[in-house]
Structure 1
Amino acid sequence: MKSSNRYIANRLKPEIEKLLAGTELELFDVVMKSEKGMKILRVSVDTEAGAGIEDVTEATTIISDFLDENDDIIKFRYDLEVSTPGLERPLRNEKDFKRFMGKKCKIMTVDKDASGRQSYTGKIDKVEDNSVTLFVEKENAYFNISIENISKANLVIEFD
């Protein structure tokens, strides 16, 4: 069942990207899940300024209308959930890191550094040549991390 879920999500991604192309919305992710006997199609959208409730409502309408008109894509009962990536959104590529320059994030690496470290939390200082430079305030130190070596990265909410 998981492979059919992945197949549906992969089939829908380019379709949803086309649907959103005429708007300020951009597709962040599409996932088809099975939870407690229910099928759920989860779509995450964002905008350059950060998506709000109006954006989610617009995306829900666009995607729902498309799926209703193309009911042969998903041939079983499911729920559609449209949301934003959230405040602690994942950072997946160089574009994401550039977009959130100066923001605090947590990065987990695939490989350990010379001291055995794999976790860094700091502000994105620089992004270039497929690497991220993070300033870790607690240590007053900069760490340069190759994007290829990042296993997981997400924004961290700061409370002043």
Structure 2
Amino acid sequence: MSTTQSERLRELLEPLVSSQDLDLEEIEVASVGRKRVLRVVVDSEDGVDLDKVADVSRALSAKLDETDAMGEGEYTLEVGSPGAERPLREQRHYARAVGRLARIQLAEGGELVARVTAVDDQGVDLQVPGVKGRKPTARRLAFGDIAKARVEVEFSRKDDSGTKSMKEEEEA
């Protein structure tokens, strides 16, 4: 997909996504056989439920049908959320990940798995788990020190006392 098409699609779709109180996170056009697929990833502070995805999908489909942004050929529109192991690219992504575990590739090399504890305009505060009985340590990273980051899925998170978190108790 050319940068021009990507920019045009973003300019066309972002106002519709924003009007639904969502953020447009990603746009991708891929070829699948003879067909093309337009994948649109949306998110919000509170996450995205299926009803919201359906609403924005209908709005985007109607807008795309009005224009030639996707050209003449057939295409399939797929609208979804970033998923459980979402990439962290912007400050708002890190803010949404506060309290979550993240796998971070450092710009200087190396990798770190730590819990996001706070975020501001300059960077992110982390709690690095202790190893072999040691206590966790605090670490601060500027956004420029991070090459790549992604939320890690935790299936049985325990708080520091070894008991289930409040969220786990609510879900139980």
Tell me the TM-score normalized by structure 1. 0.85
What code does the residue aligned with 2:93 have? Answer: D
**Unmatched segments (≥5 aa) in structure 2:** 157-172
Q: Does 1:119 align with 2:111?
A: yes
> SS of 1:21's equivalent?
helix
**2:129 counterpart (137, 149, 158):** 137
Cα displacement (A) at 1:25: 2.1
Q: Which has the larger radius of gyration?
A: 2
Instruction: Give the drift of 1:99.
Output: 2.5
Calculate the aligned-residue CA RMSD, in Å.
1.7
Tell me how far apart the structure 2 counterparts of residues 41 and 61 of structure 1 sit (CA, whole Å). Answer: 14
**Alpha-carbon shift at residue 48 of structure 1 (Å):** 1.6
State the AA in 2 paired with 1:146: A
Distance in 2 (CA, whole Å) between partners of 1:122 and 1:45 is 25
Q: Cα offset for 1:144?
A: 2.0
**How many correspondences in the alignment?**
151
Q: Does 1:47 align with 2:44?
A: yes
Match for 1:153: what amino acid? Answer: A
1:9-158 superposed matches below 5 A: 9-70=6-67, 72-75=68-71, 76-112=73-109, 118-139=110-131, 140-158=136-154
Conserved in 2, the CA contact under 8 Å of 1:8 and 1:32? no
CA distance in 1, matches of 2:141, 2:28: 29
Identity of aligned pairs, percent?
30
Following superposition, the deviation at residue 38 of structure 1 comes to: 2.9
User: 2: CA distance between counterparts of 1:59 and 1:154?
Assistant: 25
Equivalent-residue separation in structure 1 for 2:10 and 2:84 (angstroms) = 22
Q: Any conservation in 1 of the 2:16–2:56 contact (CA below 8 Å)? A: no
Q: Could you tell me which runs of 5 or more consecutive residues in structure 1 were left unpaired when the two chains were aligned.
A: 113-117
Check conservation: 2:18, 2:24, Cα contact below 8 A. no
- Asked whether the 8 Å contact 2:127–2:137 carries over to 1, the reply is yes
CA–CA separation in structure 1 for the residues paired with 2:120 and 2:29: 34
User: Would you say the 8 A contact 1:17–1:27 is kept in 2?
Assistant: yes
Instruction: Measure how far apart 1:74 and its partner are.
Output: 1.5
Show structure 1 runs of 4+ deviating over 6 A: none
The one-character-per-residue Cα deviations of 1:112-139 (angstroms, maximum 9, x if unpaired) are 3xxxxx2111111222352212111134
Task: Provide TM-score, normalisation by structure 2.
Answer: 0.80
